[in-house]
Amino acid sequence: MIAFEALSAAETLSWALDTFARSFAIATSFQKEGMVVLDLATRISPSVRVFTLDTGRLPDETYRMIDTVYSRYGTRVEVVSPDPAEVSAMVSAHGRDLFYDSADSRQMCCDVRKVRPLARKLHELDAWATGLRREQSETRAALPRVERVDGRIKINPLVDWTTGEVDRYIREHDVPVHPLYARGYASIGCAPCTRPVTPGDDPRSGRWWWEQDTHKECGIHFDLNNRPIRIART
């Protein structure tokens, strides 16, 4: 049995690429961690698959990162979009900006625009990698490096990295950085749901800042009750 916790990020990705080949992909929203995972993986296999969730409400700068990744790595990012009929039904019933109404409404929007599209994408894969780190929030503090989620292998190569280690890798390897970091963003999601933070603030405080006493998670990894998400086979 492999002692995954003893592996480095590069060793973990090498194992995933060797084991799953084209049934493995990296999920990224082009934040710093996701870009580090992408950079590490392309050094092992330039043809590694990469996908992103296009919610339809992303900042223009995020869309430009798709071109940046292709220019730098030659990687064509697989863009995953929500079901147009599901989005239309939600907006018709609750309004385009329903997420401001309540945490439940926000979770509904995230479910339609992110969680369900991810679930459909994962049916193509046996394993996938994220940029999650234990240091990011208390909901993520106990994350394993490798876990089984509803029959698939979820890999968190940077799980034990610090913010300083992420930033150092980016500097040393000249990894492309999302432009919004230069404008004070510390965690980047949909345009209406993300804002800059001041130095010293919790990086996740810029996400859904109008919510109080809720876990700052979209539902891809954890729900509002801090329970790990299990991707349904539908």
**Greatest CA separation found in the chain?**
51
CB-based contacts of 21, cutoff 8 Å, min separation 6: none
Give the span between the Cα atoms of 217 and 225, in whole angstroms.
10
Indicate the SS3 state at residue 144.
Answer: coil
Given 110, 190, 193, 218, which residue is catalytic? Answer: 218
Angstrom distance (rounded) from CA 203 to CA 136:
8
Amino acid residing at 99:
F
110 among known catalytic residues = no
Long-range pairs of 226-232 with CB within 8 A, sequence gap ≥ 24: 226/139, 228/149, 229/115, 229/149, 230/149, 230/150, 231/118, 231/119, 231/122, 231/149, 231/150, 231/152, 232/119, 232/150
Dist. CA 24–CA 68, nearest whole Å: 22
Whole-number Å distance between alpha carbons of 61 and 191: 10
- The answer to whether 130 and 156 have CB atoms below 8 angstroms apart is yes
Angle between helix axes 32-44 and 163-173 (nearest 10 degrees) is 50
What residues are annotated to the active site?
Answer: 218
